[in-house]
Amino acid sequence: MFGLNKKDSSFLLIVIALTIATPILLQPFAEGSELAQFNGGYPDLMQKIAIFGIFAVGFNILFGLTGYLSFGHAAFLGIGSYAAVWMMKLLTMNVIPAILLAMLVSGLFAAAIGYVSLRRSGIYFSILTLAFAQMSYKMAYSVLTPLTNGETGLQLALDDPRILDGAVEGSSLPVTNIFGLAMNSSYKLEALGRVFTFNVGYYFCAFIAILAFYVAIRLFRSPFGMMLRAVKSNQQRMTYTGLDPKPYTLAAFVISGMYAGLAGGLLAAMDPLAGADRMLWTASGEVVIMTILGGAGTLMGPVLGAGVIKYLENIFSKINESVLHGWFHWLPDGVEDVVIWIFARFTGEGWHLTLGVTFMLVVTFLPGGLIEGLRRLSKRIKHGSQKRDKYDDPDPEHRPGPGKRVAGE
């Protein structure tokens, strides 16, 4: 189907089914019950999961396939957001041109930055991209204020031209839409004691995310994807066979920059704001964390990582001490206080601590990310817990070890 083999197309179908059903799947607990706070089926969160899924899938095309660790990918996210908001200010509130412009502009920036940064590899590449991203961030705050509106961030205004839409009536800002269908409109369905929200914005993001995912699958399976993997495993050997790795890595960089721009454009399409904070290096770090947590180099990993992180971020931030009291009230008083104190450090305000600790544990013990964890688990279940030693392996000498180099020359 669509040029995919049987396994991939069934995989894609499962992903599509899951995405469509997300508003239901993320709402497993009945309204008003103790566990209702774990429901994640509200539009804002679902949109974020889809958007950051796109961002992470794009990042994975660069990092997972070629091994080049970019620490400045958020720059493209920010650039995409700015471009999209400008399109909405000048042309129309329809999101399609905004997103197209976001991809185009961030693609151009990625081509320029990539052309320069890709002259080096390894840690130098990471630092160069970091330097470029920080530079964009600082410039957005200072020199480019007329374009970016500095610290306030770029916002819509009533007196924006919006050539295609014409003048706005009334005193409220227009909402983003797709051919007249407002992004923030949603259909609420009450069933089984739960409220399911089917939001236009989410389904739009999900549609784009599936497209982006499909493109990523095709790319992973294409000869081009094979070339990118060759860059990661041994660039020197690739050069010896007469292939120049540069165009391939640059193409990967631009594609992944465009994915980031697309994600930035979608962020602006859901909420027409753009601030320089989106380009800060912590944002770049976040996408790295998502990709690694899910599993770099795998198809589903980055999406899984983005989903897990965004979901936990929202849920963990909501848990405060009174909620914890509710959970642990059955413990003896002294013990309860200690347990609540410990949990409170990791929830609410302490979400970043949880993130940091989880990330360290994953990098240390599970370099392949959650996907590898699931794979190991399913293997354990299939083969039972029989002990394996290296003599069971048919060819222990020639098993590929874990990647030794980031991007070896």
Residues that bind another protein (CB under 8 A): 67, 69, 71, 116, 119-124, 126-128, 130-132, 134-135, 138-139, 141-144, 281-282, 285, 288-289, 292, 345, 349-350, 352-353, 355-357, 359-360, 363-364, 367, 402-409
Contact 138, 150 (CB under 8 A): no
User: Least distance to another protein from the beta carbon of 54, Å?
Assistant: 22
Determine the distance from the C-alpha atom of residue 168 to the mean position of all C-alpha atoms in its chain, rounded to a whole number. 34
**For 65, which DSSP code?**
I
| 139 vs 178 by CB, closer to another protein | 139
CB contact at 8 A, 278 and 263: no
Nearer to another protein, 123 or 226 (CB): 123
CB-based contact 133:74 (threshold 8 Å): yes
CB of 212 to another protein, least distance (A): 24
Q: How far is the CB of 210 from another protein (least distance, A)?
A: 29
**Nearest residue (CB) to another protein, 186 versus 347:** 347
Residue with Cβ nearer another protein (119 or 246) = 119
Closest approach, Cβ 134 to another protein, in A, equals: 6
Report the residue number, 43 or 294, with the smaller CB distance to another protein: 294
- Nearest CA-CA partner of 262 in 21, 83, 5, 40: 83
Amino acid at 90: L
Q: At what angle do helices 369-383 and 301-318 cross, to 10 degrees?
A: 100
Q: Provide the minimum distance between the beta carbon of 1 and another protein in the complex, in angstroms, as a whole number.
A: 35
Q: Which helix (H) or strand (E) holds 199?
A: strand 194-199
Sequence-distant (≥ 6) Cβ neighbours of residue 167 within 8 angstroms:
none
Nearest CB to another protein, comparing residues 39 and 136? 136
Dmax over Cα atoms in the chain, in whole Å? 77
Residue 222 has what DSSP assignment? S
Alpha-carbon span 373 to 321, nearest angstrom: 32
Nearer to another protein, 92 or 136 (CB): 136
CB of 373 to another protein, least distance (A): 16
| Residue 273, both tokens | 């704001």
153 or 403: CB nearest another protein: 403
User: Around 360, how many Cα atoms within 13 Å sit in the side-chain half-sphere?
Assistant: 5
Shortest CB 376 distance to another protein, Å:
18
Contact 289, 69 (CB under 8 A): no
Give the amino acid at 33.
Answer: S
- Minimum distance from residue 138 beta carbon to another protein (Å): 4
Q: Which helix (H) or strand (E) holds 214?
A: helix 200-221
